[in-house]
Structure 1
Amino acid sequence: MRVLFCTDPLVASRPDRAFALEVAAADAVGLAWSCVDFEALAAGDVTAALRRVRPGEAAEVVVYRGWMLRVEHYDTLYSGLLARGLQLVNDPAAYRSAHLLPAALPFLGDDTPDSVVLPREAGLEWPHIEAALARFGGRALVVKDYVKSRKHEWNDACFIRAADDHLEVRRVVGNFLERQGDDLVGGLVFRVYEPLVPLGIHPRSGMPLPREWRRFVADGRVLVEAPAWEIADATAPPAFDELARRVPSRFFSLDLAERQAGGWTAIELGDGQVAGLPPSLDPADFYAALAAWDPRPLAS
């Protein structure tokens, strides 16, 4: 198995310094790594992007650990690596299944809050949005696109206090759309806000910090997990084994939070290759677990 890090934009011969702790952890457990030029990949030049990636001598699995990739760039990376005898651990369909929230919702099922998806191509005009939210009555919601929220702008561009308060909907969603701009992915997703067990409040954004954990799952088994926030928390979530078996991905992240009303809910999935490590998760532990997993290539 090989790890693929992004190159540093200032020194292309070495990994991005943002991943320095992960690179050191990979070195410590003897995992080989290569560098991909993220900017070249985003520009559509896969040859330039992979110029520092040595070909595999035999079928070899690659785990990408880098910045989030748009699905079309992931497709290009997957194909480019295959031509070099290297197989990304998740194929493009698996990447979509966890990276794009609308694709993930069928696998999350009843284990996640009720949601409505509004694709950009169907139109994001206010009458359309307000009609879609009528099903929620006066319930509180959060808004995001297919990949990201603006949760650190909680009160301005994420949290909607009541779905039937049209002025509030227009204020929050308008802020979200304006601030996402060209980075908006797919469209809008509105999700019922479920009160979660509180651990604190973010000092700058006012965002509530709930009891939430990030779990990495590899081939259906928990690889490693840790609290999502810097607040110490020893209450780990339950297994969610059935949910994990439903997800058609070899390597994904699962964010879980405890409800004030009791039980835990699945907040969202993420592709394990682009999911960030929680602050309390030591990269050494993550890479030791990754090295112990050592996934085998799948038949093409």
Structure 2
Amino acid sequence: MMLVPANPLRPRLPDDHFAPEAHAAREAGITVAVVDHDALTRDDPHRAVATVPAGGVAVYRGWMLRSDQYAAFAEALAARGVSLRTNGDQYRRAHELPGWYHPLAPVTPASTWTIGAERAAFDCARTRLGTGAAVLRDYTKSMKHHWNEAAFIPDLSDSAAAWQIATRFLELRADDFTGGFVLRAFEHFTTAEVRTWWIDGACALIGAHPDTPDDLPSPALDLATLTPLVAALDLPFVTVDLAQRHDGTWRVVELGDGQVSDRPDSISPYDFVATLLDGGLSDDARSRIGR
């Protein structure tokens, strides 16, 4: 079963953003049910899942949820006999950087983080990371579209300037600030990001990043080093965003839970559903969507 957010104006229908995937899933013979995303974010998960059919295994394709909201979502579904393929612990480990960083440390920029948003903790993390430039984010998100004011720290040794960036980051993230500050060593990338999709530790799909949907992946992308590291995470459905460093090395920019990772327009919803839900499709369903 695929679960998608309901359209806020027509709550029996999928949200417009996820309607193409819902349509492709239905054509493949997959049950599609809507959930009330607003109720999930208002900590009312049982209301959110009130129209979900009882029983079965489900994959969520929807807007981002905090880890605690997702855990409550999973519990509310379990009360209806529905099991999410990604459980609450797995979602947190994929969704929040501290959950995946150490296993992927050899292939991603050096990082350190705080618990909370205190200045003293930030300064300790800044010192631990060392010198040079860094990129600031929290456990789940950066403010890369506010690069100079809230993301890029040119010099970690300049404590006042670094804290100014952190303060602006907090202002912009506001109530969405999650976990603590994360400082990542700056690396110079020379390509657009590539979004890769992984099911049970194996890469199932490679495509453009949603921010640059027309920048198709390089044929030089080599996943040989990354594959055993992702497999060791033992996560059922994740995305890994990669970019090529100036020295030609492919580096992990981000790992996220695949259920809340956006699909670029350059990947059709039919190919997406066929590839990412293939393990749960019958031969007849695969034939109906060309797989």
TM-score if structure 2 supplies the norm length? 0.89
What is the match of residue 34 of structure 1?
Answer: 33
User: How many corresponding residue pairs?
Assistant: 277
Distance 1:136 1:100, change over 3 A: closer
The answer to whether structure 1 residue 89 and structure 2 residue 85 are counterparts is yes
3-state DSSP of counterpart to 1:241: helix
| Structure 1 vs Structure 2 CA RMSD | 1.8
Unpaired runs of 5+ in structure 1?
Answer: 198-209, 296-300
User: Does the CA contact (< 8 Å) of 1:21 and 1:283 recur in 2?
Assistant: yes
The match for 1:204 is none
Of 82, 91, 95, the match for 1:99: 95
Comparing 128-137 with 249-258, greater Cα deviation is found at 128-137
Query: Which 4+ residue blocks in structure 1 deviate beyond 6 angstroms?
Result: none
Query: SS where residue 3 of structure 2 aligns?
Result: strand
TM-fit CA distance, 1:213: 0.8
2:118 aligned with 1:124, yes or no?
yes
Question: After superposition, what is the alpha-carbon deviation per residue over 1:29-50, rounded to whole angstroms, capped at 9, x for unaligned?
Answer: 2221101111112222222111
**Paired residue for 1:233?**
216
Give how far 1:67 is off: 0.9
Q: Map Cα deviations across residues 215-236 of structure 1 (whole Å, 9 max, x no partner).
A: 1101121121202123433414
Which AA in structure 2 matches 1:124?
E
Structure 2: gaps spanning 5 or more residues? 282-291
* Distance of 1:71 and 1:151 partners within structure 2: 22
- Name the CA distance, whole Å, in 1 between partners of 2:146 and 2:263: 21
* Structure 2 Cα separation of the partners of residues 87 and 290 of structure 1: 18
Greater shift, 159-168 or 2-11, is seen at 159-168
* In structure 2, distance between residues paired with 1:109 and 1:246: 13
- For 1:244, the aligned partner's letter is V
Distance in 2, Cα, partners of 1:190 & 1:108: 16
What is the rounded CA distance, in whole Å, between the counterparts of 1:12 and 1:255 in structure 2? Answer: 32
| Aligned sequence identity (%) | 35
Q: Which letter maps to 2:218?
A: T
State yes or no: 1:282 paired with 2:255. Answer: no
Q: Describe the SS at the equivalent of 1:163.
A: coil
Matched, 1:63 2:64: no
2:207 and 2:38 map into 1 onto residues whose CA distance is 31
- 1:149 shift after superposition: 0.7
Deviation at 1:144, TM superposition (A): 0.6
Deviations 1:109-141 (A, max 9, x none): 211110011110xx521x442342124444111
Q: Which amino acid letter does the alignment assign opposite residue 102 of structure 2?
A: P
Alignment-derived partner of residue 298 in structure 1: none
How much has 1:95 moved relative to structure 2?
0.7
2:245 to 241, 248, 259: 259
Counterpart of 1:245 in structure 2 is 231
The 1-side partners of 2:128 and 2:91 are apart by 30
Which shows bigger deviation, 241-250 or 127-136? 127-136
